[in-house]
Structure 1
Amino acid sequence: MKVDVKAANQFFNQKRLRLTAIIVVFGLAYIGASLGLGFQSRSLLGVQDGIAWLAQNFIPNEASKGYWTEISQQLLRTFLVAVASTTCTAAVSLFLAILGAKTLAVSRSISWLIRGFASLMRNIPIVAWAMILLFSFKQNDLTGFLALFFMTLGFLTRAFMETIEDFGTEKIQALQATGATYLQIIFQGLIPEIAIALMSWILYMIENNVRDATLVGLLTGTGIGFIFNLYFKSLRYGAAGLVVLAVILLVVSVELISNLIGRLLS
């Protein structure tokens, strides 16, 4: 097969020009942001000192082991809030997704309304939700639950709608041709077919919400985030380091369990 050397060189030159342009754009963006913030690049030279301090102070020690009971209790509390908010949101999101999916929508206006609602909800950061709800519900587990609920609602609704639409209009029309009603199509045709995909999204959001629940706890004064903040501010750095280690172990464990469940379902 004859290779057009000139065309090949032109192709690779275009690739190099695009790569160079991207690097220049990111470089200019960094310079602009640094100048705007008054950030000095030479400050990065002191990063190793900060890492050395963390290694000396945030490593769990013998004294920090006495805090393990309290840490494990709050870790479980945080995990339960994440699971409860995700599972409750999944039920509401599935209902909204069925109404909003183009292949099942009762009306086009309702579909667009639900899509707009989902986009709005998922684009509000979890920190913003926590701060907004904090004024109404104060510092308690309910505030963290609702913050995770509203943020997850937008994400799962959109994900479920796309999953339902992937089911295909042809399959729905085939079920209608057999005389199946709207509810029969949903509960006997659609949901059994997409159940594994829906479960995968739910497991993914449980993983994500376990991490977010830690951050929310810093603001709502609950769970593992609260005691990390408490230990850190009281200069109990070894105990704070143990909290970080416990959160990492929890997140990794949840991810491994989710992957195992995903393999079993598939």
Structure 2
Amino acid sequence: MKTNYQSPQQFYRQRRLRMLIVLLILIGIYVGSMLLVKFQTWNSIVKIPAGLIWLFHNFIPTERSISYLGPILYQLWRTLLVSISSTIVASIFALMAAILGAKTTTPHRSVSLVIRFGASLLRNIPVVAWAMILLFSFKQSDFTGFLALFFMTLGYLTRAFTETIEDLDAEKIQALQAVGANYFQCVFCGVLPEAASTLTSWVLYMIENNLRDATLVGLLTGTGVGFLFDTYFKSFRYDAAGLIVLLIAILVILLELTSTQIRRAIA
């Protein structure tokens, strides 16, 4: 009886060969794409230093930028509220959907399949596409941005919550069922307390992510700090546009630090 023995040298040689083949395929795809769209790689690389110099020269906030601070902070506050509200509302619906969709808590397998399919559909449509679709019905408004973030967040959190619930120890649920606990008691006494920390972390993460996405959505919906950035940029007030970018970065960092402290507190 023959055994296929492979020495360590042969194993690593085959591994390097596979990696080389994958690398060559990726390079071939890039070169083919470059030729197809007539993209000039070297010319683009050469222009990067000049582009960065122009960027730092024009987008650095100046003393004149302070005069725009009031409108910028107001629109930034509106954008933050849309981000937080859409995330919180979506997380409530996502939690209910995840409980029904998780394999360990679903009332029926068909319900789980429907919820998983719906979450996948919502999650794989980009937030920009949601904004463009909803513009036809709700026009340019904060509500349009809210809905765009809501649908994308609902799909994303449903998937994340479902996987979190399924990763829990099923023996605890079985123990509750063994002592006569009903479905709702198993969910509220066994599942949610165990998963609360992880679920909260996902919600905090989505608030941070939605703040960045809300800026982009604002360009389409004509609201928030994204629309204000577009207005300043198109009117060549680059210093004010640079101030917006700086304030968004500061706000995102503050949100991240706050989220980290909350995660540590509930861990």
CA distance in 2, matches of 1:25, 1:260: 44
Q: Kindly provide the CA deviation profile for residues 104-129 of structure 1, in whole angstroms up to 9, marking residues without a partner as x.
A: 11111111001100011100001100
1:231-262 Cα deviation digits (max 9, x unpaired): 00000000000011111111111111111111
- The one-character-per-residue Cα deviations of 1:20-78 (angstroms, maximum 9, x if unpaired) are 12221121111111111111112221111111111111111111111111111111111
1:115-159 CA distances to partner (integer Å, 9 max, x unpaired)? Answer: 100011100001100000011101110000000000001110111
CA distance in 1, matches of 2:109, 2:169: 17
> What is the correspondence of 1:77-226 to structure 2 with a 5 Å cutoff?
77-226=78-227
| Cα distance between partner residues in 2 of 1:147 and 1:32 | 35
Distance 2:266 2:170 in 1: 25
**What amino acid is aligned across from residue 105 of structure 1 in structure 2?**
T
SS of the residue aligned with 1:154? helix
Whether the 8 Å CA contact 1:103–1:168 is kept in 2: the answer is no
Is the Cα–Cα contact under 8 Å of residues 77 and 223 in structure 1 kept in the other structure?
yes
The structural deviation recorded for 1:89 is 0.4
Q: Please report how far the alpha carbon of residue 205 of structure 1 lies from its aligned counterpart in structure 2 after TM superposition.
A: 0.6
Report what 2:30 is aligned to. Answer: 30
1:11 positional shift? 2.5
Gaps of 5+ in 1: 1-5
- Whether the aligned pair in 2 keeps the contact of 1:207 and 1:251 (CA below 8 Å) is yes
Counterpart amino acid of 1:233? K
Report the 3-state secondary structure (helix = DSSP H, G, I; strand = E; otherwise coil) of the residue aligned with 2:144. helix
Tell me the alpha carbon deviations over residues 171-217 of structure 1, each in whole angstroms, 9 at most, x when there is no partner: 21110111111111111221111110110110111111011001001
TM-score, length basis structure 1: 0.95
Whole-Å Cα distance in 2 between the matches of residues 239 and 230 of structure 1?
A: 10
* Structure 2, unaligned runs of 5 or more: 1-5
Q: Distance in 2 between matches of 1:170 and 1:187?
A: 15
Q: What pairs up with 1:39-50 in 2 under 5 angstroms?
A: 39-44=39-44, 45-50=46-51
Structure 2: how far apart are the matches of 1:18 and 1:51? 38
Q: Verify the 8 A CA contact 1:86 1:148 in the aligned structure 2.
A: yes
Normalising by structure 2, report the TM-score: 0.95
2-side partners of 1:89 and 1:36: how far apart? 41
Instruction: Assess if the C-alpha contact under 8 Å between 1:89 and 1:152 holds in 2.
Output: yes
Return 91-100 or 33-42, whichever deviates more: 33-42
Paired AA for residue 94 in structure 2: S
Aligned residues: 261
C-alpha displacement of 1:166: 1.4
Amino acid at match of 1:179: G
Secondary structure in 1 aligned to 2:47?
helix
Identity value in percent: 57
Question: Greater CA deviation, 70-79 or 224-233?
Answer: 70-79
For 1:12, the equivalent position in structure 2 comes to: 12
| Distance of 1:17 and 1:108 partners within structure 2 | 44
